[in-house]
Structure 1
Amino acid sequence: MNIKHITLATLLLIPAAYAADKESMGGKPMDHQGTNMEMDQKAAGQTATATGTVKKVNMDKGTVTIAHGPVESLGWPSMTMGFKAKPDQLKMLKAGDQIEFGFSSKGMNSTITRIEKQ
């Protein structure tokens, strides 16, 4: 058998293999919902609450830098980091404010969902 025959056989078998794979569920699409909740939650992001001190407000970038305590629900230690926030949330803040806040976190992006001065 030469390379032409192998290539031709491969090209002819790919559509058949694809069709066989689709038929394994009786032609019904597979429902992946709920099969891996941890993965779904990570894809959607996680929510948490924390307390901290406002270090910097940047209206131009739409961010607030907060030195916060540990976030046990996410396994985070105390740290200082930036969060995205809405303009109406930012305008009520200044450096030094003690706050309690809720946020959603997806990878390296965290967004304030709720914020209250203490």
Structure 2
Amino acid sequence: MKIFHCVTLSLILVAPPALAQDLLKPEGPTGSPEINGGPATEMVSEPVIHATGTIEALDRERGVVTIVHGPIPALKWPAATMDFQARREQLEGLSTGDQVRISFQSEGDEAALVSIEKP
């Protein structure tokens, strides 16, 4: 009987911390972040970076715009040509060769547009 009480007491003392840790975990995937009221990519980063450039290519189906941009000192990036993830509606009214101002968020070598507009 003494062993039963020891085991029960041990379980009572060990179980609450384990349950408390589970309560801190998210219940499930939170989905894609939203930028300007719509889903963006899986990335979430701060701060929003601003740049100017020229549209080299548009892939409306995939939601990708290729932009030739100047140096971006905030990220220590040299001038480059790179793809930016965008929502289809952000690309409406834009075409290859357009000069644009962009705001984006970056994580690693991926970038998602927050906004894109002609000056």
Q: TM-score range by the shorter chain?
A: 0.5 to 0.7
Give the Cα–Cα distance (whole angstroms) in 2 for the partners of residues 60 and 88 of structure 1. Answer: 11
- Alpha-carbon spacing, 1:44–1:52, altered in 2? closer, same or farther (3 Å): same
Give the Cα–Cα distance (whole angstroms) in 1 for the partners of residues 44 and 92 of structure 2. Answer: 28
Unpaired runs of 5+ residues, structure 2, are 1-13, 18-42
Matched, 1:45 2:45: yes
Give the Cα–Cα distance (whole angstroms) in 2 for the partners of residues 96 and 52 of structure 1. Answer: 10
2:25 match = none
- State the Cα distance separating 1:88 from its structure 2 match: 0.9
Give the Cα–Cα distance (whole angstroms) in 2 for the partners of residues 85 and 92 of structure 1. Answer: 14
TM-score (norm 1): 0.61
- State the Cα distance separating 1:82 from its structure 2 match: 0.3
| Greater helix proportion | 1
The equivalences for 1:18-57 within 5 A come to 44-46=44-46, 47-57=48-58
User: 2:50, 2:104 within 8 Å by CA — same for their partners in 1?
Assistant: yes
Identical pairs, percent: 38
TM-score (norm 2): 0.60
- State the Cα distance separating 1:44 from its structure 2 match: 4.3
Give the Cα–Cα distance (whole angstroms) in 1 for the partners of residues 76 and 52 of structure 2. Answer: 15
Between the two proteins, the alignment pairs up a number of residues equal to: 78
User: 1:45, 1:107 within 8 Å by CA — same for their partners in 2?
Assistant: no
Structural RMSD (CA): 1.7
Give the Cα–Cα distance (whole angstroms) in 1 for the partners of residues 57 and 92 of structure 2. Answer: 12
Unpaired runs of 5+ residues, structure 1, are 1-18, 23-42
1:30-76 Cα offsets, whole Å, 9 max, x none, are xxxxxxxxxxxxx9424211000000010111100000011111111
